[in-house]
Structure 1
Amino acid sequence: MVERAAIEGRLMDGDARFALESRYGHFTAMQVRDRRVRGLGLHFERLDEASRELFGGGVDRSAVLASIRTVLGDDLRDASVRVYVFDADPPRVVASAAPPHEPLKGPLSVKSVVYQRYLPHIKQAAGFQQAHINRTARREGFDEALLTTEDGLISEGSITNLGGFAGGRLVWPDAPMLRGVTMRLLERMDVPQERRPLKVADLTGFDQVFLCNSWGVMPVGAVDGVPLPQDAGLVARLLGHYEGIAWDPLD
């Protein structure tokens, strides 16, 4: 639940938050620890690219930082922060803060769902469909939903990216998707990598499958009730790379 929100350096009341979060726009999500963020430059890049595509102009980094700092105030050092850019003239930058979120405890169980997002490379505000898919999967006892095409081609999770190790390579789905900040940080890992078309049935042949988002990196133990191989060494290597990524200061 959102606890605070700020627009371009000014705190907002609850009614204003609701009105803005229902508008046309895009956002990025990050975990703040000790007022630091992993991949801050990638968050700026995401916001800037999406703003240029949707609104015809980039985003003001100083406005982004001002809203983050304001929403954290002097007391919050750890938080889940979202930065939205909403349609206006000029576009408005809004940051919200909620309690910090740790990775889900794995191995996770995921369910495949036939659904493809419009403009999947943009992290869209007011994502009713994905929220509904995620909530439905959780009610059915799964940790996350895996989005696929009609013929079973995997793109991404409802709020995550999927990757896996197979034959000594780190493999990502070759499909339209949002390349999350955590995914992009893992792409810097010193291991052979490739993108290729993946179907759900292919995952049983992987040495280790995982999900990642701003919460962290989470191993997957089963898909549609079918167990997947687990390799503790690969998970440790993956986590070692992720946890070794420097945190960027917000102040």
Structure 2
Amino acid sequence: MLQRAVIEGRVVDADARLALETRYGHFTSMQIRDRRVRGLDLHMERLEAAGRELFGVGVDRAEVLGSIRAVLGDDLRDASVRVFVVDSDGPRVLATASAPVTPPDRPHRVKPVVYQRFLPHVKQAFGFQQLHIVRQVAREGFDEALLTTEDGLISEGAITNLGAFAGGRLLWPDAPMLRGTTMRLLERMDVPQEWRPMKVGDLAGFDQVFLCNSWGVMRVGEVDGVALRQDETMMTRLLEHYDGVAWDRLD
């Protein structure tokens, strides 16, 4: 347990020390609009499952909701919120709020990077490796990285899930990954769906490739310099399904 911590020469209080000393935990990210969130039960399921795996105990739904309301305060109606469960003499719930994010309405450029996460099904707090990868590809002009094995088998994006359409079917990579909340909401779309191994070289043969995370749904226009097809019909159907997902109240 830290006794004292200093940031830029200033001694910080106990709550700031907690943020500095906790390096083990999990979290979920959500976009709040008008104090509502899509897929609240899915966020709670994620926190519950990860809590039991990492700490041997789930989460208190009332505490999680109370933390979200507290970080929003009386003034924030729209925000990007993260709820962390971290180890500090047992699991503790932390929440942060920042400016809301809307994904840019343009095709994304993505780059394959050979990297596989440990415990990929857990949304792990303090992910240095993924942040480093995202920053590296951004310096090269890419919007996102695709995490692959040495032979090019795709699992997920660094901060997204990847999906595709081919012949009217919705395709997902059959690989170890974090099944994001937005991905799980898109799985409810009323179209034939299939999980299959996907390699980077397969993407150019699909009708539409997209990314999804808590920000929303983003089309992919290019993978490592290779232009991809754009299917406006299927993309419109996908976005209409996502836009039609009900928002859950937090108050």
Task: Write the letter of the residue equivalent to 1:202.
Answer: D
Task: Write the letter of the residue equivalent to 1:139.
Answer: R
Partner secondary structure for residue 229 of structure 1:
coil
Task: Write the letter of the residue equivalent to 1:237.
Answer: R
In structure 2, the residue matched to 1:131 is 131
**Mapping for residues 1-251 of structure 1, pairs under 5 Å:** 15-16=16-17, 18-19=19-20, 22-251=22-251
In structure 1, the residue matched to 2:7 is none
Unaligned runs of 5+ in 2: 1-12
In structure 2, the residue matched to 1:3 is none
1:138 to 1:93, Cα distance in 2 relative to 1, 3 A: same
In structure 2, C-alpha distance between the alignment counterparts of 1:16 and 1:67, rounded to whole Å: 19
Does the 8 Å CA contact 2:40/2:248 hold for their aligned counterparts? yes
Partner secondary structure for residue 131 of structure 1:
helix
Partner secondary structure for residue 28 of structure 1:
strand
Deviation at 1:15, TM superposition (A): 2.4
1:114-135 Cα deviation digits (max 9, x unpaired): 0000000000000000000001
1:91-148 Cα deviation digits (max 9, x unpaired): 1011100000101332100000000000000000000000000011111000000000
1:142 to 1:13, Cα distance in 2 relative to 1, 3 A: farther
**How much identity, in percent, do the aligned residues show?**
72
Task: Write the letter of the residue equivalent to 2:84.
Answer: Y
1:13 to 1:107, Cα distance in 2 relative to 1, 3 A: farther
Moved more, 84-93 or 72-81: 84-93
Partner secondary structure for residue 49 of structure 1:
helix
In structure 1, C-alpha distance between the alignment counterparts of 2:199 and 2:241, rounded to whole Å: 27
In structure 1, C-alpha distance between the alignment counterparts of 2:19 and 2:89, rounded to whole Å: 19
In structure 1, C-alpha distance between the alignment counterparts of 2:62 and 2:72, rounded to whole Å: 15
Moved more, 154-163 or 99-108: 99-108
In structure 2, C-alpha distance between the alignment counterparts of 1:17 and 1:65, rounded to whole Å: 21
1:215-250 Cα deviation digits (max 9, x unpaired): 000000000000000011111100000000000000
In structure 2, C-alpha distance between the alignment counterparts of 1:140 and 1:72, rounded to whole Å: 35
In structure 2, C-alpha distance between the alignment counterparts of 1:120 and 1:247, rounded to whole Å: 27
The number of residue pairs the alignment matches comes to 239
Deviation at 1:167, TM superposition (A): 1.6
In structure 1, C-alpha distance between the alignment counterparts of 2:195 and 2:128, rounded to whole Å: 28
Regions of 4+ moved over 2 Å: 12-18
In structure 2, the residue matched to 1:4 is none
Deviation at 1:90, TM superposition (A): 3.6
Deviation at 1:88, TM superposition (A): 3.4
Normalised by the length of structure 2, the TM-score is: 0.93
Partner secondary structure for residue 141 of structure 1:
coil
In structure 2, the residue matched to 1:5 is none
Unaligned runs of 5+ in 1: 1-11
Deviation at 1:183, TM superposition (A): 0.1
Does the 8 Å CA contact 2:113/2:146 hold for their aligned counterparts? yes
In structure 1, C-alpha distance between the alignment counterparts of 2:244 and 2:203, rounded to whole Å: 27
